[in-house]
Amino acid sequence: MTEPDLTPTPRPRVKMKPKSNARAIRHGFPWVYANELVTDRRTKKIAPGSLAVLEDETGARLGLVAVNPESKIIARMLDRDPEAQIDVAWFAARLSRAQDLRAQLYDAPFYRLVHAEADGLPGVVIDRFGAACVVQPNAAWADAHLEALSTALGEVTGCEVILKNAAGRTRSLEGLDDVNAVLKGAAPDAPLPVQMNGATYMADLTGGQKTGLFYDQRDNHAFAARLVAPGAAVLDVFSHVGGFGLAMLAAGAGHATCVDGSAAALDLAQAGAAASGHGDRFTARQGDAFDALAALAAEGAQFDVVVCDPPAFAPAKPALEAGLRAYERIAKLAAPLVKPGGYLGLCSCSHAADLTLFRNASARGIGRGGRRGQLLHTGYAGADHPQMPQLAESGYLKSVFFRLD
């Protein structure tokens, strides 16, 4: 009887083109674009999510990458060691490092646990909600290794529930499905309460947007709360589940109005206000934000603090100019609603619109709205959303707060 051949199959090799930017890869840039890689017949046949050894044009090995011939990001750096084994132990080491950082920063396990490339897990987002984690495997390699990732996540965190969230534009760009799944335990049958900045937020882990809650704005919520005088009237536009509005109520605002296009999100905001003990000082207004801002102006409404936190108007460079015009229009409509001496906060999660472009668009809009202001504060995502210095996309969020004349 012939013994089976247990010799490991050599990993495929992929090579960068001459004059491609291999130096950037050596210095920490995590992506290889399709036009930088030799895509011969052999490379094109590599299954999406497969592992390969990346070489520069001379054949020198640069590290272990995950390959997806169907994506513009054809290779993602996983490990500088070309022989690394991507198994439960490998995932556990990276997850432990990520969790150690968050445990030092936060006194309760409610945070973004993994912020993709910045935490050494390209394309992977994990948000933690106490004993539950929601995983977004937004790259083909992560989908292919989801079982090992989930096992390691349970071991490191002790979480009883692990959910896969497959929503989002990025998965479609990787050729992946949009099917959610329960990876461990049972999905919660009700929204989970999350305490932040003195307020209670209700996170819907199965039916809400993204993972159920946006942790990235936590520090900016806290700054907006500092602007609130006792009894102030505040307006939170594109509020989702009440992010800025509930934080300002917890700081002593007399009344908060939250505007959002999603009735379901506003129901969660209302529930959060009630759970925080402020239900009688909260108003939800459902509808298009641009229309709502115009209607409030027609009604003569004014507020001590107005914050607008829209979705990404410029998710990629082709949408940049239109996105900047939209940010300018938001500022123009919001500025007249701020009482003299009051505050206007404007946010952008568009990585294609850098801080300078966004700040300038906001200032133009304020001027077109007939107001002038002092720029008081520039905010970013919290420390549970670390930035990878070599990757601008990891620093997508910015906020600017003005005091208007």
CATH (residue range 88-184): 3.30.750.80
Second CATH level (architecture) for the domain 193-404: 3-Layer(aba) Sandwich (3.40)
Rounded to two decimals, the pTM is: 0.94
Chain centre distance of CA 274: 27
Query: For the domain 13-79, what is the CATH superfamily, name and number?
Result: PUA domain (2.30.130.10)
Residue 356, both tokens: 């300078």
Catalytic residues: 349
Where are the domains positioned within the chain? 13-79, 88-184, 193-404
Residue-level pLDDT, tens digit, the chain, 405 residues: 444 444 456 899 999 999 898 999 999 999 999 999 999 999 999 999 999 999 999 999 999 999 999 999 999 999 999 999 999 999 999 999 999 999 999 999 999 999 999 999 999 999 999 999 999 999 999 999 999 999 999 999 999 999 999 987 889 889 999 999 999 999 999 999 999 999 999 999 998 788 889 999 999 999 999 999 999 999 999 999 999 999 999 999 999 999 999 999 999 999 999 999 999 999 999 999 999 999 999 999 999 999 999 999 988 889 999 999 999 999 999 999 999 999 999 999 998 899 999 999 999 999 999 999 999 999 999 999 999 999 988 889 999 999 999
